[in-house]
Amino acid sequence: MRLFLTTFMIMALTGLAMAGGWQAIQADYLSGKITADERVQYAMTLLTNPQNLPPQYQITEPMKDATAMVVEIMTDKGTINPALFNQYSMILARQTKQKHYYTPGGHFCIHYDTSGTHAVYQPTVDVNPADGVPDYVNRTGEYFDRAWAYECDTLGYDTPPGDGSNGGGTDIYDVYMHSYSGAYGVTWPESPSSQYPGRGNDYTSYIFVDPTYNGFGYTDRTLPMKVTSAHEFFHAVQFAYNSNAGTWFMENCSTWMEDVMWDSINDNYAYLSYFLQNTHLTMTTANGGFEYGAFLWPTYLSERFGMDIIKTIWEWTIPSSAYLAVMQVLDEYATGMENAFPEYATWNFLTGARNDGQHYIEGGSYSQVRIMRTHTTYPVTNNTSSYAPSALGCNYIMFTRGGRTGRLIFTFNGNNSGQWKIAVVKSITSNSHEFGTYATDTNGDGEIIIEDFTRFAAVTFIPCLFNGSSLNYTYSARIDTAAVGMADEPINLPTDFVLNGNYPNPFNGNTIVSFTAPAGFAGGAELTVYDQLGRKVNSRNISVVTGVNNVNIDAADWLDVSSGMYFYRIVVGEKKLTGRMTYLK
């Protein structure tokens, strides 16, 4: 299992304390069992000698990151003995090493030891190449060179601000091969930078990586170094934009970047359960586990809208925060969070055995989301959530027929201070599904009817919350045998047109453009497809009915052009809905 320590602000680390560790230390501090100074002492021990912690704070797996720990302690600086706080703040100062190595790409200086506590793995092996530098240091340099080439040169991200004469060379990025008790890597934002005018939170930085990865469970020691270089260097890139953008999104993106660069390692899969078992938590959660498993958020964004959307979001963080930047960019993409989040929640259901091959590219290999409750008997009356969702959190409630026939009537009563939408997945088989998204009324209430429930092996409702904290709801369900065979009818429909997006995206055969029309509407619309330069590729008139409308776009019929990004626009009277799709020919 892999973990990362990434620093934030002047001395911030990103970190995960597993069972015990920081979570237990912080809980005891908040309950008054330990003092502020004792909390700092335990935190330092956690970073440097975790085996010396008291039994209640011991961890069974290496520490992933410690952002929450550092931020909490820095917030309480005034209550901590100044000398102790200074001792704590010096833990991740630059280290003096026995040797250094400038990488062939010209961007990095790797600092390392060949003897002593922090000696590198196989320090005497020097055959590939035989250049007086241990091969493991050569490989480390290669992986960081590759990270720079891909993240900055290929994807176009801004380069980390230069650090002047600090460390090795002039404006050469420094990587220290130095052990921090089971941490895979640390990226430390050192000083404010003026390299990019107009940015108030861009920082110079340097990186620590473990010199051996002894005890991390790897036979091939190059594997953890590969993902660490991708992960930590992307933090250095992030610090060029805004070092205070939001730890949750920093870790989402750095964990995503590991998989983008080193797809076959799949080390990030180990963290999926932290997210998929806790989808009720707010998307901005950074508790040392959730934010790493939530690499699915940038995965969804990049696979749904194209790789550039992540860079665009980081560009928007410069005057803002990651949360606001995501909102603004999704609005620019004519989707909005109100449509993207229920779609994201739907994608997260379609993993493992439920993967239909049309959503996450690697979805079949991901673990499955927690189903909050599965119902097989009816009626279901005024049940409540076991895990009340917070803003941009959701639950999954599954219904199976239990041998009955008829239509399923689902009634939802959400906390009226929240804004809700309900995504619906109707599973014909375990990996074949139909989809819908419905808005509740202004009181958070709604009713959805699944006609001919007999067609489906299961129907899963996904209540999605957009604001508030730990807002509960009640729901009921019954099977009505009086009418069978009509189309699904949501009784509470949106009061305006809502774009649901297109599935799959990217696509190479056909894709379904989905949108919802308000109650009482019946008529026509025009669907037009444009290329990236805004030139019209094709246009058709379509019929529109109340509720969910699905329009099939067959690439051979509609496009018949080269691969790339396309825009589609649905015009209904004065209303225009615009989306983006990627065609892979």
Residue 544 and residue 519: Cα distance in Å, rounded? 12
Sign of the CA dihedral running 164, 167, 169, 172: negative
What are the backbone angles phi and psi of residue 137, rounded to the nearest 5°?
-70, -40
57, 60, 65, 70: CA torsion to nearest 10? 0
Mean pLDDT of 46-60: 86
Three-state DSSP class for residue 153? helix
SS3 letters for 405-452?
CCEEEEEEEECCCCCEEEEEEEEEECCEEEEEEEECCCCCEEEEEECC
Residue 427 and residue 461: Cα distance in Å, rounded? 11
Tens digit of pLDDT for each residue in 171-220? 999 999 998 866 788 888 888 999 999 998 999 999 999 999 998 889 99
pTM greater than 0.85 (yes/no)? no
pLDDT band at 486 (very low <50, low <70, confident <90, very high): very low
Tokens for 85, please give them: 């706080």
CATH of domain 498-583: 2.60.40.1930
Please determine, for residue 164, whether its predicted confidence score (pLDDT) is greater than 90: yes
pLDDT above 90 coverage of the chain, percent: 61
pLDDT at site 487:
42
Strand 536-554 versus strand 510-530 pairing type? antiparallel
Helix (H) or strand (E) holding 176: strand 173-177
Mean pLDDT of 133-155: 98
pLDDT at site 547:
77
Residue 111's contacts (CB-CB under 8 Å, 6 or more residues apart) are: 95, 97, 99, 100, 167, 168, 174, 175, 176, 177, 178
Mean pLDDT across the chain: 87
Is the peptide bond preceding residue 104 cis, with omega within 30 degrees of 0? no
Contact 349, 462 (CB under 8 A): yes
Residue 518 and residue 520: Cα distance in Å, rounded? 6
Lowest mean pLDDT among 8-12, 102-106, 277-281, 439-443: 8-12
CATH of domain 373-490: 2.60.120.380
Write b or e for each residue in 17-56: b if 16 or more Cβ atoms lie within 10 A of its Cβ, otherwise e: bbebbbbbbbebbeeeebebeebbbbbbbbbeebeebeee
What is the number of other CB atoms lying within 10 angstroms of the CB of residue 239?
28
Q: Tell me the range of 61-65, 261-265, 403-407 where mean pLDDT is highest.
A: 261-265
Tokens for 90, please give them: 């010096």
Tens digit of pLDDT for each residue in 524-554? 899 988 776 667 788 889 988 877 788 888 8
Candidates 174, 172, 165, 9; CA nearest to 94 is: 174
What is the number of other CB atoms lying within 10 angstroms of the CB of residue 270?
16
Segments making up each domain of the chain, as ranges: 9-89, 99-263+295-314, 373-490, 498-583
Is the peptide bond preceding residue 389 cis, with omega within 30 degrees of 0? no
Mean pLDDT of 514-526: 81
Residue 561 and residue 583: Cα distance in Å, rounded? 9
Contact 339, 499 (CB under 8 A): yes
pLDDT band at 481 (very low <50, low <70, confident <90, very high): confident
Candidates 470, 457, 577, 433; CA nearest to 518 is: 577
Angstrom distances, CA of residue 53 to CA of 31, 43, 210, 538:
19, 9, 21, 66
Please determine, for residue 10, whether its predicted confidence score (pLDDT) is greater than 90: no
Candidates 427, 476, 430; CA nearest to 453 is: 427
Tens digit of pLDDT for each residue in 291-316? 889 999 999 999 999 999 999 999 99
Tens digit of pLDDT for each residue in 311-369? 999 999 999 999 999 999 999 886 799 999 999 999 999 999 999 999 999 999 999 99
Three-state DSSP class for residue 552? strand
pLDDT at site 12:
32
Please determine, for residue 284, whether its predicted confidence score (pLDDT) is greater than 90: yes
Candidates 434, 435, 380; CA nearest to 412 is: 380
